[in-house]
């Protein structure tokens, strides 16, 4: 691994003002800020001939595995520099590999942008497909206790079959 690549990685992360931890030469743990998925943790690992990118997206879906994996495979066709994969337990990751000769600040910034766009942009869809029952159960539990539904707003359509607004208790979603 070239120290030039290490310098490019550090310069790119610094220019983007990203939080990161340099574990050793060529090995970085980067935190990408998001909106739907509050953060995406990403490893950048420079090896002899390539730079590997690996980002955790979400845990193994509880249900609708076929629908989730179909979504991921279709989404792969639109991604640049990375693709979705699953590990041995079914957790979902974005992974990619760049040849060291192609690692420039611009290219690395583009790939990290793609990781963030995919992980953050696809997050709610993955939750809807793979965790709908859990989301409904959490919604019902919060309503029964008068808890805030603020971070479940994006999934309100899952609570009612007609997709309309859900019934709320005072002090919940509609009055926040």
Q: Determine the Cα–Cα distance for residues 169 and 134; give it in Å rounded to an integer.
A: 20
The pTM of this model reads 0.85
Tell me: the pLDDT tens digits for 150-164?
888 888 988 876 655
CATH numbers and ranges of domains, the chain: 3-175 (3.30.1460.10)
Give the number of other Cβ atoms within 10 Å of residue 137's Cβ.
Answer: 11
Tell me: the pLDDT tens digits for 78-132?
999 999 999 999 999 999 999 998 999 999 999 999 999 999 999 999 999 999 9
Residue 9 tokens, joined? 């990685």
Taking alpha carbons only, the member of 80, 150, 79 closest to residue 108 is: 80
């Amino acid at each position: 691994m070239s120290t030039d690549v290490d310098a490019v990685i550090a310069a790119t992360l610094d220019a983007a003002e990203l939080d990161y931890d340099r574990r050793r030469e060529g090995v970085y743990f980067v935190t990408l800020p998001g909106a739907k998925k509050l953060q995406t943790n990403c490893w950048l690992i420079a090896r002899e001939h390539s730079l590997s990118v690996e980002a955790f997206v979400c845990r193994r879906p509880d249900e609708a595995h076929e629908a989730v994996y179909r979504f991921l495979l279709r989404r792969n066709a639109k991604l640049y520099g990375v693709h979705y994969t699953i590990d041995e337990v079914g957790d979902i990751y974005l992974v990619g590999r760049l040849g060291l000769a192609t690692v420039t600040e611009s290219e690395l910034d583009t790939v990290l942008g793609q990781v963030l766009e995919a992980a953050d942009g696809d997050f709610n869809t993955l939750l809807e497909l793979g965790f709908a029952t859990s989301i409904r159960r959490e919604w019902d539990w919060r309503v029964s206790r008068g808890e805030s539904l603020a971070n479940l707003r994006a999934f309100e359509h899952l609570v009612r079959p007609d997709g309309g607004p859900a019934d709320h208790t005072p002090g919940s979603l509609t009055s926040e």
